[in-house]
Amino acid sequence: MLPVLQHLVSIIDRKQTWALLNNILIKAEDNGLRFVATDMEVELVANIQADVTDNGMVTLSSRKLMDICRNLPEESLLDIELSGNKVLLTSGKSRFNLGTMPPDEFPVLGSIEIAESVTVKQNELKDLIERTYFSMAQQDVRQTLNGLLLELTGTGARAVATDGHRLSLVDSSSAIKVNNPYQVILPRKGVQELLRLLSNSEDIAELQLGKKHLRVELDGMCMTSNLIEGSYPDYNRVFPSEIDHSLVVCRDSLRQAISRVMVLSSEKSRGVRLAAEEDALRVFSHNQEMDQEEATDEIEAEFGGELIEIGFNGSYILDALNAIEGEKVEILIGRNNSSGVFKGIGDESARYVIMPMRL
């Protein structure tokens, strides 16, 4: 029961002002126990097997219940008994009396309007999200940028995230059948909780998509998240229409070089400058707050053009490199240094656009 409680507690907002939402709803039914947690944006329902003698429901402090279970010996049995406005928990010689709150007032989402329902392997959906979500905006006035775009085309799935300074786009080649192309924008909380639930296995997750909600059923749990309303920006316009320069480098070499020079980069901008010339890429940083601090590094590169220099946020490059698969990465520089596109050699499924910086 402890792993289930840990998932449920992660849903609950620590800053929640409505005391009831610090609790979880427990329903005792003929076939076991049903747990419900919500913060009014994301709801998680989990079912576990249990021997039930009397049906009923109660709400208990989620963290107290989790801490009690965490401190019990492994494989121990827990007996839950409702008596008046208190619940008695018994395990061996351990006894705990917990206060309750009215279960009838606990908000439960229930059924939702569903437009499309699809199945996908958990590891594929997790990979799709993990390789894009870091580019989501945080508290942007453009609400749609604060979420992750999940797009179902009938031939596969696509995830897109952007904060206006960078963009991540990853395609999944899995055949996902939908009656019509469909888009949803999942908020940050929904993305984070979905990632916690998804495993690296090929077990199936069912996605139920509606106009206002996304529901995901997997491994005996059901997560429902509100969606961000509105139209996502035309992300295709972010990709440069014309490419002036292209170079290829070892992904690990570039990642290590950027990590080294960023030690002396500005803590505010995290900027690094890339300078490509024949067969080499130089990476350097300069700390504007500490005028005499600078760092340089150099790695091999497949490049035969004239000298080019362009500045980027080094943290953005590292995020992209960590998500790209393969040994080598191609860097495409748009006309007039308008942007940089980072992608793995031979892998067209993932592309990362980063806007340049003046350094």
Average pLDDT along the chain: 91
- 205: in domain: yes
Same domain, 180 and 262: no
Task: Work out the average pLDDT over 171-193.
Answer: 87
Q: Which residue is it, tokens 């080294």?
A: 260
332, part of any domain: yes
| 110 located within any domain | no
- Full residue range of the structural domain in which residue 18 is found: 2-105
Percent of the chain with pLDDT over 90: 69
pLDDT in tens, 75-120: 889 999 988 788 999 999 999 999 999 999 999 988 888 888 889 9
The yes-or-no verdict on residue 175 having pLDDT over 70 is no
Last residue of a domain, one of 51, 70, 105: 105
pTM above 0.85, yes or no: yes
Q: Is residue 11 part of a domain?
A: yes
Residue 226 CA to residue 245 CA, distance in Å, equals 42
Q: For the chain, what is the domain count?
A: 3
Q: Do 206 and 294 sit in the same domain of this protein?
A: no
271 with 293, same domain: the answer is yes
Do 156 and 216 lie in one domain? The reply is yes
Say which DSSP state 277 is in. Answer: E
Give the pLDDT score at 54.
86
The pLDDT of residue 276: 93
* Cα 30-32-99 angle, rounded to 5 deg: 105
Together in a domain, 32 and 88: yes
Tell which residue, 30, 105, 19, 102, has the closest CA to residue 62: 19
Judge whether residue 221 has pLDDT over 90: yes
Whether residues 229 and 312 share a domain: the answer is no
Q: Do residues 52 and 79 touch, judged by C-beta distance below 8 A?
A: no
Q: Which of 190, 207, 235 represents a domain boundary (last residue)?
A: 235
Check residue 266 and give its pLDDT: 83
222: domain CATH number? 3.10.150.10
